[in-house]
Structure 1
């Protein structure tokens, strides 16, 4: 049976033949132009694909290979520039060493020169130093940013699977490592601020002005792995200057600052104070309301913020009331009214009446509520800031809980601390600061850029000449077709310039 044809399939078969012709032409072309195997790869691509999915996949793969080649060439040019610009009286080349770099195009093995100081014997890679490439880093900043943003949204294995569609060969461990590096940078920054204030006695120097601050603290228990302890508490904090309407009856926190980590209460509060005081001028703050669920470590915050008033946040108070009186709506309403009156005698009267009428678990819950209210009564009767608090529970879940408490999730203590800090940085809109941290330190960078531009332009012009000479479609009967005029002809036109 004869195969059915159409103008589109005719053009496709013609393109195949053109690719074969180009490949044969390339085999005999002179050196100095594009990669001689380029034509053969195009021929294989066009003649070998059987469906559009495979065609698209192969085009992507070839494009990534080409991008890796360009990237390798750029690094080679920089390394050569550094060799020529070095102080030859001090640094001598002792050989090449290979290192693997995982980029947004895929994995790249980089050969760079190793130098030795003739006077001290010190060994150094000038390329690594110029790129800001630390000894342990494998991922480039751009890939690291993509990996971290996916890693904070989903399990590392799933993040690697999705990222693998764009970056072949990316592993869950590479995603994990990227998140760990960002989290460690955040931990070191927080610890540095804490040491400066509490060990060196430096003034934080916050610049923002506000007369009132709200600070809320809460804990979130997670499961641990590779530890004698089965569980650990992540401490979360949010500081803000108030709430504002954002439409639809909803309110948002003003000037929100989120902090979190795994650590003892006192150390975490020192870090929180240094972070808050590094942002706001504490001399201008007249009122500070510190909200918590009543946990002892959370109430310690009043010792670090002079003049702060502890407030038991409304969410946790109401949750305790519901747990004790879920079976008795009338007593629940009486207890709420008694608490609102801020008269402890009235509260005791309601609780005493309620506890006499029940037994077992219900009685234990009412007695627990009684102790809870007594221990936190001073935080309940503090009225001015009470109505403004109660946001921490939402911050806990939306900021960290959904990622760190998912089904089956478990963490090392260090890994949990770093992940919590990364999630806080994202809530603050600052995550990018901790994923793209390589800074080029390259003397004569402008001169190098000019030299590279000349070389790239020469290669592009050679490639364009080959494309114009080697694509029959540009001169054949289909020369007026849109896919030739607007795609192939533009690809063969080397009229662009590098910025």
Structure 2
């Protein structure tokens, strides 16, 4: 209490002295606030330090500690928090039963081994990294005293990549029957450090567009992202299907996208699913098909939506036989012809009354490209995955700090279970070894020459 009183007296003395400087115009008001808040943070960190050290001392003096654990050393540790650093001393113990070494205080609080940062710091860094560069993410929390972008990278690689796509909070309601459920999918082309470009895929589920609002927001959207390899992407579509099965009973599912193979595989994977080609890419390929003829892309666009496949085929026949078409134009025509003729039914289904449209291209630009590919960056696979997952985890309403804390608690429980299993296994091994040695002792004696205790065990005393 004396120490606490001394700290409070010093805090009040500094506050009043600086306040007088403000009144005499020797110090700015905002500077006074900053000095006072900094002193307050320092005071709180010292109080936390004293509290934890006192808790460690009380456990050290307890009867259960003296019975089960041996004191091996007193060691210091420095922890970085959102409000600054503090250093404390805690006791290093050894279990008399298992001979394992541990810090009781670290286990009780849930501090990660070999990490100087608390989970709150890691969560805040991930939140900042979702929208800012690694350096900017550090500058946004100057109290932490971390200046290395490598430290941020490690957090993104280790914690960010573990953030899940599945629902953060399970809905309390049962599965809701719904007439139409909508899926939209697209990918961002991310540049990697090995000079390759790979897809960061995005899929989102929603109940349609709210046409009563000015910007037509999605109704109850949920997002999935990741650097899923291959073209079938069974893992991604399994996550999407699990979410649908947990929340909905849809009569019909509409999947929109650009016609990539992995998106069409999703339409085959999801039950009652119809693939519809989005109009953004339809316009893109109609412009490509009209190369060299200004304004014709609008006519081709209307023909495609109306299902006028004969008109489109006749058009390409004429263009392919036109001697004025250059080699470059011919290449564009071939790509457009293949795209439009291979997706005839998917294009025509844009006219279905239950279908609202597709905004996947805008979502890719806003949620992934803005951070991953809008600037000339070179990502590692873990870095791109970690940043993308962080952005989508927050978009789904996830709380990063709570997730990391829950993971830490689960890891602690698992460690206790593993430790108990190991103890049981050791006890069983000892029991089996004792049984084997006893059997060997019996079989090692000739009949009629066993010792008295062996005879007693067999026939009774």
**Residue 344 of structure 2: aligned partner:** 377
CA 1:95–1:266: 2 relative to 1, 3 Å:
farther
**Per-residue Cα deviation, 1:104-145 (whole angstroms, up to 9, x for no partner):** 111223432222110111122222222222225443233333
CA distance in 1, matches of 2:243, 2:63: 42
- Alignment match, 2:84: 106
- After superposition, residues 298-317 of structure 1 pair within 5 angstroms as 298-317=263-282
2:306 paired residue among 341, 347, 350: 341
Segment drifting more, 374-383 vs 336-345 = 374-383
Note closer, same or farther for the CA distance 1:155–1:373 as it changes in structure 2 (3 Å cut).
same
The 5 Å alignment of 1:65-84 reads: 65-83=42-60, 84=62
In the other structure, the counterpart of 2:438 is: none
More displaced, 415-424 or 383-392? 383-392
Of stretches 389-398 and 379-388 in structure 1, the one that deviates more from structure 2 is 379-388
The 3-state SS of whatever aligns with 1:232 is strand
Partner Cα separation in structure 1 for residue 190 and residue 227 of structure 2: 10
Change (3 A) 1:31 1:233: closer
Q: Matched residue of 2:140: which SS? A: helix
* Residue 365 of structure 1 pairs with residue 343 of structure 2: no
What TM-score, normalized by structure 1, do the two folds share? 0.69
Alignment match, 2:5: 33
Whole-Å separation in 2 of the counterparts to 1:280 and 1:183: 26
Decide which of 219, 223, 226 is 1:261's aligned counterpart. 226
Aligned pairs (5 A) from 1:208-287: 208-225=176-193, 227=194, 229-248=195-214, 250-265=215-230, 268-281=233-246, 284-287=249-252
Could you tell me the TM-score, scaled by structure 2's length? 0.75
Matches within 5 A, 1:166-245: 166-169=143-146, 171-187=148-164, 207-225=175-193, 227=194, 229-245=195-211
CA contact (8 A) 1:422 1:431 kept: no
- Partner deviation per Cα, 1:186-233 (whole Å, 9 max, x = no partner): 25x76xxxxxxxxxxxxxx984543422222211111112x3x52222
By how many angstroms is 1:306 displaced?
Answer: 2.4
Any idea what SS the aligned residue of 2:73 has? strand
CA distance in structure 2 between the partners assigned to 1:441 and 1:78 by the alignment: 23
Aligned twin of 2:385? 417
| Runs (5+) with no aligned partner, structure 2 | 167-172, 413-461
Q: 1:240 to 1:43 in 2, by over 3 A?
A: closer
- Aligned partner of 1:388 among 356, 370, 374: 356
Relative to structure 1, the CA distance from residue 59 to residue 387 in structure 2 (aligned partners, 3 Å threshold; closer, same or farther) is: same
Distance 1:208 1:296 in 2: 30
Structure 1, gaps ≥5 residues long:
1-29, 191-204, 443-499
1:69 and 1:353 map into 2 onto residues whose CA distance is 83
